[in-house]
Amino acid sequence: MANYNQSIIGFWVNIAFDAFINQRNNYSLISEEKYSEMMKEYQLELRRIIPYVLQQKREIHGNFYNFIHYSFFEYFVALSIFSKIGISFHNPNNISDLLDSFKLDLSLPIRHHLVDLISLDQSLQQEEFISFLNLLYKSINEDNKIGKIKKNLIIYIISKQDMRAALSCLKNILNTETNIFIKNSLYWACIRKNDGELLNLYIFLLATEPEYRFYNRGYHLYYYGDIMFDKFPFTDNDENTPWDKTRKFMMDKRINDHKNIPSFIRLLDIWTYIDLAVFHKTLLRSEEIASLKNSYNDLLCYLNEDAKYFFENLFNQINNYPGN
Asked if residue 193 and residue 324 are part of one domain, the reply reads yes
- Taking CA atoms, 51 is separated from 9, 54, 55, in Å, by 12, 5, 7
Write out the E strands in the chain: 30-31, 54-59, 62-67
Confidence of residue 126 (pLDDT cuts 50, 70, 90): confident
In DSSP terms, 55 is beta-bridged to 66
pLDDT at 210 over 50: yes
Show Cβ contacts of residue 102 under 8 Å, excluding neighbours closer than 6 positions: 81, 149, 150, 153, 154
pLDDT of 1 reads: 47
Query: Cα angle at 64 between 63 and 69, to 5 degrees?
Result: 140
Q: Is 65 helix (H, G, I), strand (E, B) or coil?
A: strand
pLDDT at 282 over 90: yes
pLDDT at 191 over 80: yes
Asked which of 40-49, 83-92, 156-165 is least confident by mean pLDDT, the reply is 40-49
Distance separating alpha carbons of residues 17 and 77, to the nearest angstrom: 5
Distance separating alpha carbons of residues 2 and 305, to the nearest angstrom: 52
Kindly report, residue by residue over 8-59, the tens digit of the pLDDT: 788 888 888 888 887 654 556 777 777 777 777 776 666 677 677 777 776 6
**What average pLDDT does the structure give for the chain?**
88
Confidence of residue 232 (pLDDT cuts 50, 70, 90): confident
pLDDT at 178 over 90: yes
Judge whether 3 lies within some domain: no
- Taking CA atoms, 311 is separated from 47, 125, 205, 240, 264, in Å, by 60, 38, 12, 24, 14
pLDDT of 3 reads: 47
pLDDT top residue among 300 and 65: 300
pLDDT of 286 reads: 95
Judge whether 278 lies within some domain: yes
Judge whether 180 lies within some domain: no
Judge whether 107 lies within some domain: no
Asked which of 31-35, 276-280, 297-301 is least confident by mean pLDDT, the reply is 31-35
In DSSP terms, 10 is beta-bridged to none
pLDDT of 19 reads: 83
- Do the beta carbons of residue 243 and residue 279 sit within 8 Å? no
Domain boundaries, position 222: 188-324
DSSP state of 106: P
Average pLDDT over residues 163-167: 91
pLDDT at 6 over 60: no
Domain boundary among 74, 89, 104: 74
Kindly report, residue by residue over 149-160, the tens digit of the pLDDT: 999 999 999 999
pLDDT at 4 over 60: no
Judge whether 234 lies within some domain: yes
pLDDT at 64 over 90: no
Query: Cα angle at 210 between 208 and 216, to 5 degrees?
Result: 105
In DSSP terms, 64 is beta-bridged to 31, 57
pLDDT of 62 reads: 63
Asked which of 67-76, 81-90, 209-218, 278-287 is least confident by mean pLDDT, the reply is 67-76
Q: What share of the chain has pLDDT > 90, as a percent?
A: 61
Judge whether 123 lies within some domain: no
Domain boundary among 74, 94, 122: 74
Asked if residue 201 and residue 70 are part of one domain, the reply reads no
Distance separating alpha carbons of residues 267 and 11, to the nearest angstrom: 44
Domain boundary among 74, 89, 121: 74
Total tally of structural domains belonging to the chain: 2
Asked which of 6-10, 91-95, 244-248 is least confident by mean pLDDT, the reply is 6-10
Judge whether 284 lies within some domain: yes
Distance separating alpha carbons of residues 145 and 149, to the nearest angstrom: 6
Q: What share of the chain has pLDDT > 70, as a percent?
A: 91
Judge whether 133 lies within some domain: no
